[in-house]
Structure 1
Amino acid sequence: MLSSILHAKTADSRNLPYACCYYANLSKNSILHFIIFEKGTISFCFSISGMIHFKYTIKEKGVRTNGMLLKIKMWIARMCQYILYFAVPLKKNRIMLYAHHRSGYVCNPGALLQYLEAKHPGQWDLVWVTEYPESLPHLPGVRICGRRSFQYFRTFIRTKVFITNDMVDENLIKKTGQLFISTWHGGGAYKKVGISTCAESKEMARHFRKWYGRLDYFVSSCRKCTTNYTEAFHLPASCFLEIGSPRNDIFWQDPDMALQQVYEFYHLDPDTQILLYAPSFAANLPDRDNLVSLTANTTAWKQVLSDLANTTGKRWVLMYRTHHFTPASCDTTNELFIDGNRYDDIQPLLLAAAMLVTDYSSCMWDFALTDRPIFVLQDIIKAYEQSDRGFFVSPQSWPYTKIRSLQEIPAKYAVWDDKDNYHKHFEQMGSFETGHACERLTDVILTHTMTPRKNSGGKHHDKK
């Protein structure tokens, strides 16, 4: 009886990207069936000894219903994890990695993923989680998993280590023995984050404690990061791995391959110089987009590129790379402008660029490791400091060249010589960047996966 009712759904659900199906053997004669669809229809049934005790179906009725369907889906996913909590053992070599709302194998989790497969081939069961599974190329030894899909939850319940560059999905129920690691997604700890950004909202503060309170480790890029984020996320100092950012290991490696890939991808002549323009995002600056967008400043940028060409005797192009929260394309019909958003990973772009222009993006911390010029937009920084999150580290202490207008760039580039100031800044910030972050993080993972240990099931561990 039950199988006939469920047959039509189960026949299709495994092939749908947003289907979530659970089959949990509770006893010899009992089966718990859940069939959940994010779009369309949700049906779930509970049976004991072949008798249907509960069956409920909801049909899609507009946007409001879709939100309700997703909530129900996540509630059922959490309930199933609780049911299987003790029944399903962990797979000690399974690691799931997720870069928050990014396409490609990118950011710190992506760098670690590629390191693990290159240095320890076949040793790990590696699973890359993404919202864009159809766009990813296949990597040997790596499985791709759609976020919040059936495969996602089924894979997680046996996962030993879950690594993300932000917070861990609150719909994942942490089991005893599992390890949660956040690599974070910005170096230098310049902008305020966490509880420090919601001092007037006790509810948001509680959310941050819930989201980050399950972490075992938090990767720190510098001493300032450890100090500021301890308070921002209410984490103990013992939670922080002071090893630098895994994505920045690339700056200590042979750059030729990365440079060649970028130049070939954009069909650039080897002598062409790249000006990387990479503004960040803001939540409370309504006029900011007009000030930083490429479209609103096309004429000014063309003049900058022309002046740079006259000053250096080389051809310059502008590569426009936006924050992934505010994606924007550029006019690629103009040969002077290149769409940096077409390239998934920004780190090779940083390696290829001759200079960086930004507002307050944390990529300036990464790019400073190249000892190349960085120009920051002073007026945008001031507005962000007054009207948005603000900064942990005062912009007055930054070693990056501040400009009020784009026209200042060519002249200041010609006389730029701030390498020593960069080095002093890294010393003052207590930088942990050494080019060995992936190696050191792997050592920590090995410590917890290759030797038995006790786990409280959700709280922090002392650093090894």
Structure 2
Amino acid sequence: MKVVFNSFGGRYNDNPRAVYEALVARGAEMDAVWLARPELRGDFPAGVSTVETWGPDARAAVESADVIVSNDGISREWDKDPATTYLQTWHGTPLKRLHRDAVWAPEGRLELVMRDVARWDVLLSPNAASTPHLRSAFGFTGPVHETGYPRNDVLNAPDRDARRARVRAELGIADGVTAVLYAPTWRDDLVLSDDGPKHTFPVDLGDLARGLGADSVLLVRLHAMVSDRLVVQGPAPLVDVSRYPDISELYLAADVLVTDYSSTMFDFAVTGKPIVHFTYDLEHYRDDLRGFYFDLAEIAPGPLLTTSEQVLAAIAGLRERPWEPTERYERFQDTFCSLEDGAATERVLQLLFPPDGRPAARGALPANDEPRR
């Protein structure tokens, strides 16, 4: 069985990584190959077979695969074999409107996306609330399976405390230091513009880090769309973790998440740790740029704040008393995290890689997203 894995156009992380490592642990007989960006091949473990994204070997790999596991579109030119099963895991619970549903998109982008969607055989959904929006965004009429996200299994794994300690040690975070993970999403009008900056920060990150205090560290994680386009700079206590291979481990290492409209909020909530929203451009992002599937003011698990002073005050307030999830936070978890129970990867393996080692036939993959009773 030949299986090709792709994550964010050539990285070793996310849902495909979780599926791959579970198959390896199972001892599955497979010829596995990863699409890899040349400059990121050092992030792949020794012994993992890779081909360069997007060279001729990559096209040959996807065109000869029995199964393709990807968390993003493979939008380059290639012809899919009718016998190939293409599993699209996607990479987040959508707050912001996607593709066909987005308020704005540059000319030609939607056509590239839809060309790849036509190749998909199966789509994963992290929760029932997301399923209709994923169908709408992609115009996908095939099977959608609500499994939860394999990448989040580590957040409930028996070794999560040991992972937390290891990652914090790797990042030089001492015991007793509060790790604040700042993970903003990207802005379409910047990234997809013909000129100008590809990303801007609303505040000086060094000032924000210093404002947290000596017993804290600011971990800055840029979105994959912009992480290779600029360098995060600033004095300690600031650490650029944009190149850290897998954000799930950063969720374990962190004590607080600061984000805006990113899907990181849905994953981080699995940990039960506090979330603060830095929504300085809320109206522009919601009304002009993307649009939302959910009313953020209604569902947000944490406060919506517009200035760095408010963010610093909210984080300081968390030190004054032990954190306990609010009723609002718990409703958020009930809606979006109910399938994040540590068994999502196994559900995907049962779906696509049954114990006999052969991928399930395409016609044997009915959707499980019919209305719940």
Q: With the length of structure 2 as denominator, give the TM-score of the two structures.
A: 0.85
Cα separation, partners in 2 of 1:301 and 1:224, compared to 1, 3 Å: same
Cα separation, partners in 2 of 1:288 and 1:450, compared to 1, 3 Å: closer
Query: Aligned partners of 1:156, 1:242: CA distance in 2, in Å?
Result: 25
Cα separation, partners in 2 of 1:172 and 1:447, compared to 1, 3 Å: farther
The equivalent residue for 2:231 is: 329
- Residues 352 and 359 in structure 2, CA contact (< 8 A), matched pair in contact too: no
Structure 1 residue 427 corresponds to structure 2 residue 334: yes
1:232 to partner: Cα distance: 1.1
The equivalent residue for 1:403 is: 305
Query: Aligned partners of 1:453, 1:367: CA distance in 2, in Å?
Result: 32
Cα separation, partners in 2 of 1:260 and 1:392, compared to 1, 3 Å: same
For the residue of structure 2 that corresponds to 1:219, the secondary structure is strand
The equivalent residue for 2:150 is: 246
Structure 1 residue 168 corresponds to structure 2 residue 74: yes
For the residue of structure 2 that corresponds to 1:241, the secondary structure is strand
The equivalent residue for 1:26 is: none
The equivalent residue for 1:138 is: 45
Cα separation, partners in 2 of 1:453 and 1:243, compared to 1, 3 Å: closer
- Residues 376 and 400 in structure 1, CA contact (< 8 A), matched pair in contact too: yes
CA deviation digits over 1:138-167, x for unaligned, max 9?
Answer: 344x31121232332333343100111112
**Highest Rg: 1 or 2?**
1
Letter in 1 for 2:224: H
**Equivalent residues in 2 for 1:59-458 (5 A)?**
93-103=1-11, 105-118=12-25, 120-132=26-38, 134-140=41-47, 142-186=48-92, 188-197=93-102, 205-236=110-141, 238-253=142-157, 254-284=159-189, 289-292=199-202, 296-303=204-211, 305-306=212-213, 315-327=215-227, 328-331=230-233, 334-397=235-298, 398-407=300-309, 408-413=313-318, 414=320, 417-429=324-336, 431-447=338-354, 450=357
Query: Aligned partners of 2:349, 2:22: CA distance in 1, in Å?
Result: 9
For the residue of structure 2 that corresponds to 1:418, the secondary structure is coil
The equivalent residue for 2:371 is: none
Cα separation, partners in 2 of 1:116 and 1:420, compared to 1, 3 Å: farther
Cα separation, partners in 2 of 1:124 and 1:423, compared to 1, 3 Å: farther
Cα separation, partners in 2 of 1:411 and 1:256, compared to 1, 3 Å: closer
1:224 to partner: Cα distance: 1.9
Q: How many residues align?
A: 353
The equivalent residue for 1:51 is: none
Query: Aligned partners of 2:30, 2:79: CA distance in 1, in Å?
Result: 22
Cα separation, partners in 2 of 1:156 and 1:210, compared to 1, 3 Å: closer
Cα separation, partners in 2 of 1:139 and 1:111, compared to 1, 3 Å: farther
* 5+ residue gaps, structure 1: 1-92, 310-314
1:135 to partner: Cα distance: 2.0
Question: Cα RMSD between the aligned structures?
Answer: 2.9
- Residues 266 and 337 in structure 2, CA contact (< 8 A), matched pair in contact too: no
Larger mean CA deviation between 352-361 and 197-206 belongs to 197-206
CA deviation digits over 1:201-235, x for unaligned, max 9?
Answer: 89655544322122111110111211111111111
Cα separation, partners in 2 of 1:206 and 1:325, compared to 1, 3 Å: closer
Letter in 1 for 2:143: C
Larger mean CA deviation between 122-131 and 367-376 belongs to 122-131
CA deviation digits over 1:370-389, x for unaligned, max 9?
Answer: 11111001322332112211
1:419 to partner: Cα distance: 4.2
Query: Aligned partners of 2:200, 2:359: CA distance in 1, in Å?
Result: 56
Cα separation, partners in 2 of 1:420 and 1:169, compared to 1, 3 Å: same
For the residue of structure 2 that corresponds to 1:356, the secondary structure is strand
- Residues 103 and 289 in structure 2, CA contact (< 8 A), matched pair in contact too: no
1:350 to partner: Cα distance: 0.9
Cα separation, partners in 2 of 1:273 and 1:232, compared to 1, 3 Å: same
1:193 to partner: Cα distance: 0.3
Percent of matched pairs sharing the same residue: 24
Cα separation, partners in 2 of 1:144 and 1:300, compared to 1, 3 Å: closer
The equivalent residue for 1:61 is: none
CA deviation digits over 1:90-136, x for unaligned, max 9?
Answer: xxx21110002353x21111121112112x22522221111136423
* 5+ residue gaps, structure 2: 191-195, 369-373
Query: Aligned partners of 2:225, 2:94: CA distance in 1, in Å?
Result: 19
CA deviation digits over 1:292-351, x for unaligned, max 9?
Answer: 35xx24324312x12xx6xxxxx211111111222243336x231111124121111111
For the residue of structure 2 that corresponds to 1:434, the secondary structure is coil
